[in-house]
Every structure is written in structure tokens, then in C-alpha cells.
Chains A and B, each alone.
Chain A
Amino acid sequence: MTSTETGTPTLSGERADLLDALGKQRFFLRFTTRDLTDEQAKQSPTVSTLSLGGLIKHVTDTEQAWVRFIEDGPDAMTGNGKDWTEWTEEDYAEREKTFALQPGETLAGVLARYEEVARHTDELIATVDLDLSQPLPDAPWFPPGTCWSARRVLVHIVAETAQHSGHADIIREALDGAKSMG
């Protein structure tokens, strides 16, 4: 758990709860990659196209994008200067690559980047105004006119990490039979 490294003992109440919940979910996701080779982390052993290395990358990118939303507003979220309604097929093709380990990428490398992004998010949780509310960016999958508070975004990151760790549980069990839960 990251709690002792990030000053949790000095936080209390809601911020501590968020930090704790997010730390646990990140741990569950990372735990599915224990003792795997890079080769195993690239495999897609279920009917889904997802791999464990790809999931770690995707969850890292997603967490980073949502933190950009909190810190710099909806326009900063996609990271390429366009909102999603302006994305071309090439932009979506680039995004597809974030779901898989690319040549030269390693499991250790993507886990280290995940840790780095997580550290920044944890610092934000300690200080951000949780009620700070902003409109969601234009995207086909967001209801128009919806505003999300920083808290709503952070809870979403917890839930999205948890959902992907559910995918990861089954991918890992399909890889070598190792179970995450009892």
C-alpha cells in the first residue's frame, strides 16, 4: 500500500477514504501481474482482446487523463489538444495502441509509470477542493451538460480501476490458473 509513503496518517475523513480506496484498487490490479514475464503480460488468453500489460497502461492513461481534467479542465483531458468529437480514425488508432504493450515496452516499465502517475494523483487528493465542479468534455459517451466534481472524478477512478482489475483477475486465471480472490 502506498499510504505510509504519501502522508496518509496526516489526512483524515473523506480524503483518507479516497486515498485508501484508490490505493487498494491499484494494489489489486498490480497484484494480477505478480511474477509474470513480459511475454505473459502481452498475451490475451481470454475471448477478450485485453492483456494484463495493456490493462496497466490503459488504467494509467485513464487516471492521468482524469487528473488533467481536475487540474486543467475538460479541454486538457484528451492530451492531444482535440476533444473527442474532433478525433479522426488515426487518433483512435493511436488510442488502440494504449491497450497493448508495444515493442520495447516492458511490464516493469508500465508498472513504474503507473506508480509515478499514482503518486501525483495521491498528492492531488490531499489538497484539491473536492467540490470543485466542471463540465465533462464533449464526447459521444458523456451525457451533454453534465458537470462532475473532483470527488465524482476520483470515485470514478476508483470504480474504473476496480472494474479493470476484475478483467485482470480473469485474464490472469486464464494465463496460469492463479487466482486473485479466495
Chain B
Amino acid sequence: MTNTATLSGERADLLDSLTQQRFFLRNTTRGLTDEQVAAAPTASSLCLGGLIKHLTHGEQQWVDFILAGPAQHAGHADIIRETLDGAKSMA
């Protein structure tokens, strides 16, 4: 969390949501090896390490509505992680 306490209203709401979405994405890589984050275990060609790189780049470019990008990719990441070793992100 960065400076949330000093912000209010719209900025605080957006920062809070963005922080949460970044957490969800990062959390899909918990406890993995470099080899696992490079693997593409689903029908999709996506891998977790590639998703983190893509989102970092996307955020730098401030694309579209910035919250939706991380969230959608966190969804991709959830299923990739569950395919890798069965770990679930959501209950």
C-alpha cells in the first residue's frame, strides 16, 4: 500500500482497487520456480512470468482503464496456476 492513508475520494478508491488487482496477479506466482513461471500448461500459450512482464509494460503505457487489464490477466493467471499444481486463487 502506498500513501493510501493520505488520499481520499476518487484517488483512494482507484489506488485501493489497483493495489488489490496487482496483489491478485502476483499471488498466482507464490512459491513457484522460474521454470514453473515460464511454463504454458493450458490450452493458452500464456505463462505466469510472461503475464507479469506484459502487465508491467501495460501499466507503464497507461492503457485503457488501467484496472481492467490486471484483473483480466489475473483471471488468466488463476487458471494457469491451477493447471500447474492445483493451487486455487479463489475459494
Residues on A facing B (Cβ under 8 Å): 14, 17, 20-21, 24-25, 28, 45-48, 130-131, 141, 149, 151-152, 155-156, 158-171, 173-174, 177, 179
The residue of chain A having its C-beta at the shortest distance from the C-beta of B69 within the complex is A162
18 contacts between A and B (CB under 8 A): A17-B65, A21-B64, A21-B65, A24-B64, A47-B83, A152-B16, A158-B65, A159-B17, A159-B20, A163-B75, A165-B72, A166-B73, A167-B76, A169-B72, A169-B76, A170-B42, A173-B44, A177-B43
Please tell me if B80 contacts chain A, counting CB pairs below 8 Å.
yes
Q: Is the interface of A mostly helix, strand, loop or mixed?
A: helix
Instruction: Give Cα distance in the complex from A46 to B46, angstroms.
Output: 14
B68 near A158 with CB under 8 A, answer yes
A168 near B75 with CB under 8 A, answer yes
A25 near B13 with CB under 8 A, answer no
Known: A131-B9, A152-B13, A166-B74. A25 touches B68 (CB 8 A): yes
Please tell me if B52 contacts chain A, counting CB pairs below 8 Å.
no
Of residues 3 through 46 on chain B, the ones whose CB sits less than 8 Å from some CB of chain A are 9-10, 13-14, 16-17, 20-21, 24, 42-44, 46
For A162, list chain B residues within 8 Å (CB).
Answer: 67-69, 71-72, 75
Q: Chain B 62-91 against A: per-residue CB contact (8 Å), 1 yes, 0 no?
A: 001101111111111111101100100001
B42 near A166 with CB under 8 A, answer no
Instruction: Give Cα distance in the complex from A25 to B71, angstroms.
Output: 10
Residue count of chain B within 8 Å CB distance of chain A: 33
Instruction: Give Cα distance in the complex from A60 to B84, angstroms.
Output: 29
A170 near B80 with CB under 8 A, answer yes
Q: Smallest CB–CB gap between A124 and chain B, Å?
A: 16
Instruction: Give Cα distance in the complex from A158 to B20, angstroms.
Output: 13
User: Taking each of B9, B64, B69, B79, which has the highest tally of chain A beta carbons within 10 Å of its own beta carbon?
Assistant: B79
B71 near A160 with CB under 8 A, answer yes
Instruction: Give Cα distance in the complex from A46 to B76, angstroms.
Output: 12
B71 near A166 with CB under 8 A, answer yes
Instruction: Give Cα distance in the complex from A163 to B22, angstroms.
Output: 12
For B71, list chain A residues within 8 Å (CB).
Answer: 158-163, 166
A174 near B68 with CB under 8 A, answer no
A166 near B75 with CB under 8 A, answer yes
